[in-house]
């Protein structure tokens, strides 16, 4: 057959419109960018472990006639590396959607690539308020620091706390922690008497503690992960600084208690997950996790477990006409997804509608509080 220019153009158009479809492949492929080396590798490994629990269960369920594969790439929590991975994922036409990254900074850098290419991106932990605003392709299943800050601010006001010192790590995320709390706290009539930002991995918080004590706050609101949190709490105890400490869900991890010991007692924070909840899906996840870990899952692996399951449910919904566009629309349509971190519904901006739990360390364990 003679291939005319018109025929060639029609064939090219048809090819461009052909879905990146699971039924035409041996498997459905998803990408997951996460830190597997570097100083945040422990979080990335937890994400991967949780993802594998979800993926193994899904593939065994027979929900699709083909298996789903997850392609993991190590971002090292580096924004440039995150962008490189994003370009790699969008260039792979078999990948229909991606998960990650860990930090807001890396997630937001990679988001620019996914926005331009039209690839759905679901982060389990990017809580910077601006992440989901980047484009219609960005979603998250974790609450934002605006949400957590408002809950903590009201929690403190209800307890009669009027003066607060704020400390947080010197990152985009840390800045959002401070802003997300300070604005609603001051709007409710509270006063922020001291603010300090520190570099992640700081070994000595004693000068910061001394300065905040001088301001005589009723409480301290903190933005840190468990490693820095344990160090801060231990040094608060060493200096006999008897000031209530509140924090975000980022600090929720049993390893904080292991590292801080008795100094963790009384820590108050917000969270979306507690492994002690007796819901069937929570206990199923905890049981599977315990098979390969010597500590209970924290909120972050639980977030990853839910994120993967939300994406997999969307794949099923879009199949067999599975394209990057149809998968994005299926993710956006997520309503009351019954995850281990609670039910998740995405609003029109890709933000999760879900409730936060209040918890405290009592007797060496995190317990839910009213």
Residue pLDDT, tens place only, 323-368 = 999 999 999 999 999 999 999 999 999 999 998 999 999 999 999 9
- Are residues 246 and 152 in contact, defined by beta-carbon separation less than 8 angstroms? yes
Q: Strands 357-362 and 352-353, how do they pair?
A: unpaired
pLDDT band of residue 129 (cuts 50, 70, 90) is confident
- The answer, yes or no, to whether the previous bond of 320 is cis (omega within 30 of 0) is yes
The single-letter DSSP state of residue 126 is -
Residue corresponding to tokens 């580096």: 78
What gap in Å lies between CA 213 and CA 153, rounded to an integer? 20
Tell me the Cα Rg of the chain.
Answer: 22
Strands lying side by side in the sheet with 337-339: 337-339, 342-346, 352-353
Architecture of 145-271 per CATH?
3-Layer(aba) Sandwich (3.40)
Domain boundaries for CATH 3.40.50.2300 within the chain:
6-142+280-353, 145-271
Residue 6 has what pLDDT?
Answer: 44
Residue 370 has what pLDDT?
Answer: 78
What gap in Å lies between CA 140 and CA 303, rounded to an integer? 10
pLDDT band of residue 3 (cuts 50, 70, 90) is very low
Dump pLDDT digits (tens) for 76-104.
999 999 999 999 999 999 999 999 999 99
Measuring CA to CA, which residue among 359, 327, 356 is closest to residue 120? 327
Q: Is the dihedral of CA 189, 194, 198, 200 positive or negative?
A: negative
- Are residues 202 and 222 in contact, defined by beta-carbon separation less than 8 angstroms? no
What gap in Å lies between CA 104 and CA 110, rounded to an integer? 10
CATH topology of domain 6-142+280-353: Rossmann fold (3.40.50)
| SS3 assignment, position 170 | coil
Q: Is the dihedral of CA 112, 114, 118, 121 positive or negative?
A: negative
């Amino acid at each position: 057959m003679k291939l005319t220019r018109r025929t060639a153009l029609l064939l090219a158009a048809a090819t461009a419109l052909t879905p990146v479809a699971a039924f035409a492949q041996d498997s459905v492929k998803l990408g997951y960018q996460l830190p597997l080396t570097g100083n945040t590798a422990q979080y990335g490994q937890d994400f991967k472990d949780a993802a594998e629990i979800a993926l193994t269960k899904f593939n065994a369920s027979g929900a699709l006639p083909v298996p789903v594969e997850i392609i993991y790439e190590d971002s090292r929590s580096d924004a440039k590396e995150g962008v490189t991975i994003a370009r790699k994922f969008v260039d792979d036409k078999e990948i229909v959607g991606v998960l990650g990254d860990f930090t807001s900074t890396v997630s937001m850098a990679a988001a620019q690539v996914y926005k331009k290419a039209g690839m759905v991106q679901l982060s389990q932990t990017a809580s910077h308020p601006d992440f989901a605003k980047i484009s219609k392709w960005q979603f998250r299943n974790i609450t934002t620091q605006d949400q957590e800050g408002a809950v903590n601010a009201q929690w403190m006001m209800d307890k009669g706390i009027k003066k607060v010192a704020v400390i947080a790590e010197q990152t985009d995320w840390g800045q959002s922690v401070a802003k997300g709390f300070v604005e609603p706290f001051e709007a409710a009539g509270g006063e922020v008497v001291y603010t300090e930002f520190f570099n992640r991995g700081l070994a000595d918080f004693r000068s910061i503690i001394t300065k905040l004590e001088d301001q005589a706050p009723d409480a301290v609101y903190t933005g840190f992960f468990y490693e820095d949190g344990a160090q801060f709490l231990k040094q608060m105890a060493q200096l006999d600084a008897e000031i209530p400490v509140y924090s975000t869900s980022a600090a929720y991890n049993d390893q904080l208690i292991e590292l801080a010991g008795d100094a963790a007692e009384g820590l108050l924070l917000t969270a979306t997950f507690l492994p002690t909840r007796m819901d069937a899906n929570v206990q199923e996840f905890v049981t599977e996790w315990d098979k390969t870990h010597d500590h209970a899952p924290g909120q972050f692996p639980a977030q990853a477990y839910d994120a993967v399951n939300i994406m997999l449910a969307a794949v099923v919904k879009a199949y067999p006409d599975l394209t990057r566009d149809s998968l994005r629309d299926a993710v956006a349509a997520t309503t009351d997804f019954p995850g281990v971190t609670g039910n998740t519904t995405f609003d029109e901006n890709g933000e999760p509608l879900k409730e936060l739990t209040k918890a405290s360390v009592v007797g060496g364990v995190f317990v839910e509080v009213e």
